A and B are shown apart, each in its own frame.
Chain A
């Protein structure tokens, strides 16, 4: 258990620090890289939670595909790649307040609600096969819906981004 806790500590520290840096950095490419760190940290946490397929997908889809998309977006919009750009709006204190309020109330109610509930560690472990069984039986229709959604998004993105 201790090892898991240590790992959790390290990973969550990475995730949180990276996330914070992501939303505060002035360099947009750095921000994208911080996001990669966040996503990777989260992937590792999924492994910690015995969700191997989710972790794999996280790495493949997010770090592989989504991040590439972001980098394309950054380049195509000719974002200034230097350090000099003000990336945060004037209203950031208000935004910080709102975020703090929201986070605070959520954390408060979580502490209130779950207190010191322990995570169930001796429950069943679902491997990739179990997940695929579930996806292709119980959730077959949502799965198909998501595939249609992806198709629609694909076409939509193409239509939107076409030059003419």
Chain B
């Protein structure tokens, strides 16, 4: 278990790599070879993360005595278990319960716990800071959720490092690029293993800064820096929520320790409901900014101004899931604050679902391939937040896991396309690339299928769990969320098909000769594509595996990653797998693909036919009449979705929300100018100056006294003496 207790070395390695690259890279390593340092560091991080993940699974499988928490079935004897829980949750030695815990763990909902409640490995290092006589330590908090994220971050970061060697080759700031990739990785790893909420804040902001630096990587162009500023400032707005929310947590529990906060809530749910509600709402604002949730999502598409691998790493797979991760990490806060268990709609679920919906809608209206993917990311993040909002913790984290791989693959694929096609991301200048770029095409399609949720790709499994979660909920279902989820499933499949059509099919509309990217780019693509296929296997439902006798491997993420030590106390349950729900989800995705397919492929086919055969063209009019379906799709369904709805959404997005943000900024600036001009310089400074002028003019008057004539001085002297004497006489 060494790795779990000393997990701090994992973020330390890329941090050192950052320092080495930034300060010694250019001079001692060579500007074009700094990636060696970064890749080595990330390789090491990956290995250590894998070790940590393995050791965590060992800890779950064969828990040491001090890792187990005695469990009571909260469903039955809720009344008398309070007294015990207080003692138990702090890891009292219950050696005799070893292995028995699995029996206790409430399995009332079928999918439930089959393993004991395992405490996270918490190591604290030093007195980081102190205040009011209390020392606050810095430390690491490692549990299944942490190691899962470690693996995600390490894997994708490593692949992005490798991919970037080709993609940003010869860039004028190659060194800085790799330095900030390393710093970002360090910050993200630091964030995921935060032991207290201060560390969460620190990591949260640090990844934001790296994002800022990398979005603005090509800062010579103003749009890039605008995007960077927008990203940072929008995040800063959310950070107000983060700071206030964390402060409310501190004020309520008088501790920063995540473990203690979670334990206190889970052992005594119901207490502090109001404070938790306030904290949860505030933190929700932070999540909205970092994870691109409505209405603070507008920065994310703009953030695509950064280099594409950065978009893949930061703005698809890792940083933007920080908000989701934080909800998951502090889940008891949100669960109690929003009453997720008992409500059938709440703020988090609604924001998530709504974001998923508008994100998917907006993805239709984009011509920039990266922006489509960006809106898709917004939409999928909304999915995750919605999942957390309906109480489907595992589903959300599972989706986070699978999404990281296929979305990173999609972004890197888009990067590969642009690399080949003269650095454009405009889909109108692409087309027909499937022949020229077979590897990119295949990986892109695989990932798109995963994103669309087609069996048996990864996205199918995770999306299915989310839909199931919103169907069943905890005590109530979340019907509205289910509708949102289903609609999004359909739309996701549709817009991804559109992207594939415009990018890879049809005729090449750009200029020059596109070519396949070199191996150093395609290999990471294939690895990610492989994960897009296989990642679903990590949390397969039991019924799928039973026929092949591998039911022991079911629900691995749920088993290993879920912090049931906290969630159990809240009474969180897991829905039974449902074949119906899976089929409905699949049907929606397939129909989405089918509709789009008909729309694009058929029309092109006809065009080709009419061009080949002039008789056929005459028949085409008839065919065209027969194809009122096209009209239906084109003019009615798609156009209404595409033109008025999407355009309206887009316009709302650009004009209302974005305008609001911009206007707020401009107004603040104008107010600043006004206040400065009239109040500061006018009123306050003016009055001061008036006083000074008074002093000045009286000084002018007094200056005439300085005549240099002895008698005048004498007059003053005697006059002053007389006055003083008078004063003295009067006073005494």
Interfacial residues, chain A to chain B (CB-CB below 8 A): 89, 91, 94-95, 97-99, 101-102, 105-106, 108-109, 112
Which residues between 679 and 732 of chain B lie within 8 Å of chain A, taking CB atoms? 711-712, 715, 718-719, 721-723, 725-726, 729
CB distance from B644 to the nearest CB of A (A): 91
CA of A136 to CA of B335, assembled, Å: 108
Q: Is the CB of A112 within 8 A of B718?
A: no
Q: Is the CB of B711 within 8 A of A105?
A: no
Q: Is the CB of B719 within 8 A of A98?
A: yes
Q: Is the CB of B722 within 8 A of A91?
A: no
Interfacial residues, chain B to chain A (CB-CB below 8 A): 711-712, 715, 718-719, 721-723, 725-726, 729
Q: Is the CB of A101 within 8 A of B729?
A: no
Which of A89, A105, A112 contacts B722, CB < 8 Å? A105
Note all chain B residues with C-beta closer than 8 A to A106: 725
Q: Is the CB of A91 within 8 A of B712?
A: yes
CA of A94 to CA of B711, assembled, Å: 11
CA of A164 to CA of B228, assembled, Å: 87
Q: Is the CB of B715 within 8 A of A109?
A: no
Note all chain B residues with C-beta closer than 8 A to A112: 729
Which of B712, B715, B729 contacts A105, CB < 8 Å? B729
Which of A98, A99, A102, A108 contacts B729, CB < 8 Å? A108
CA of A91 to CA of B726, assembled, Å: 22
Q: Is the CB of A101 within 8 A of B722?
A: yes
- CB closest chain-B residue, reference A106: B725
Note all chain B residues with C-beta closer than 8 A to A95: 711, 715
Note all chain A residues with C-beta closer than 8 A to B712: 91
Q: Can you report 22 residue pairs joining A to B where beta carbons are below 8 Å apart?
A: A89-B711, A94-B715, A95-B711, A95-B715, A97-B719, A98-B718, A99-B718, A101-B719, A101-B722, A101-B723, A101-B726, A102-B718, A102-B721, A102-B722, A105-B722, A105-B725, A105-B726, A105-B729, A108-B729, A109-B725, A109-B729, A112-B729
CA of A101 to CA of B711, assembled, Å: 17
Note all chain B residues with C-beta closer than 8 A to A102: 718, 721-722, 725
Note all chain A residues with C-beta closer than 8 A to B711: 89, 91, 95
CA of A146 to CA of B442, assembled, Å: 120
Note all chain A residues with C-beta closer than 8 A to B719: 97-98, 101
Among the interface residues A89, A99, A102, which one has the most CB atoms of the partner chain B within 10 A? Answer: A102
CA of A97 to CA of B716, assembled, Å: 11
Classify the secondary structure of B's interface with A.
Answer: helix
CA of A85 to CA of B590, assembled, Å: 123
- CB closest chain-A residue, reference B729: A109
Classify the secondary structure of A's interface with B.
Answer: helix
CB distance from B480 to the nearest CB of A (A): 93
- CB closest chain-B residue, reference A113: B729
Note all chain B residues with C-beta closer than 8 A to A89: 711
CA of A102 to CA of B716, assembled, Å: 12
CA of A99 to CA of B717, assembled, Å: 11
CB distance from A112 to the nearest CB of B (A): 7
- CB closest chain-A residue, reference B718: A98
CB distance from B635 to the nearest CB of A (A): 101
CB distance from B253 to the nearest CB of A (A): 74
Note all chain A residues with C-beta closer than 8 A to B726: 101, 105
Note all chain A residues with C-beta closer than 8 A to B718: 98-99, 102
CA of A93 to CA of B581, assembled, Å: 110
Smallest CB-CB A-B distances: 7 pairs = A101-B722, A102-B722, A98-B719, A105-B725, A98-B718, A105-B726, A109-B729
Q: Is the CB of B715 within 8 A of A91?
A: yes
Note all chain A residues with C-beta closer than 8 A to B729: 105, 108-109, 112
CA of A101 to CA of B729, assembled, Å: 13
CA of A112 to CA of B729, assembled, Å: 10
- CB closest chain-A residue, reference B732: A109
- CB closest chain-B residue, reference A95: B715
CA of A99 to CA of B715, assembled, Å: 9
Note all chain A residues with C-beta closer than 8 A to B725: 102, 105-106, 109
- CB closest chain-A residue, reference B721: A102
- CB closest chain-B residue, reference A89: B711
CA of A90 to CA of B722, assembled, Å: 21
CA of A112 to CA of B719, assembled, Å: 21
- CB closest chain-B residue, reference A103: B722
CA of A56 to CA of B693, assembled, Å: 61
Note all chain B residues with C-beta closer than 8 A to A94: 715
- CB closest chain-A residue, reference B725: A105
CA of A95 to CA of B713, assembled, Å: 11
Note all chain B residues with C-beta closer than 8 A to A91: 711-712, 715
Among the interface residues A98, A106, A108, which one has the most CB atoms of the partner chain B within 10 A? Answer: A98
- CB closest chain-A residue, reference B727: A105
- CB closest chain-A residue, reference B717: A98
Among the interface residues B712, B719, B722, which one has the most CB atoms of the partner chain A within 10 A? Answer: B722
- CB closest chain-B residue, reference A108: B729
Note all chain A residues with C-beta closer than 8 A to B723: 101
CB distance from B721 to the nearest CB of A (A): 7
- CB closest chain-A residue, reference B724: A105
CA of A59 to CA of B402, assembled, Å: 123
CB distance from A61 to the nearest CB of B (A): 26
CA of A94 to CA of B705, assembled, Å: 13
CA of A105 to CA of B729, assembled, Å: 8
- CB closest chain-A residue, reference B730: A105
CA of A89 to CA of B709, assembled, Å: 12
CA of A109 to CA of B718, assembled, Å: 17
CB distance from A105 to the nearest CB of B (A): 5
CB distance from B242 to the nearest CB of A (A): 72
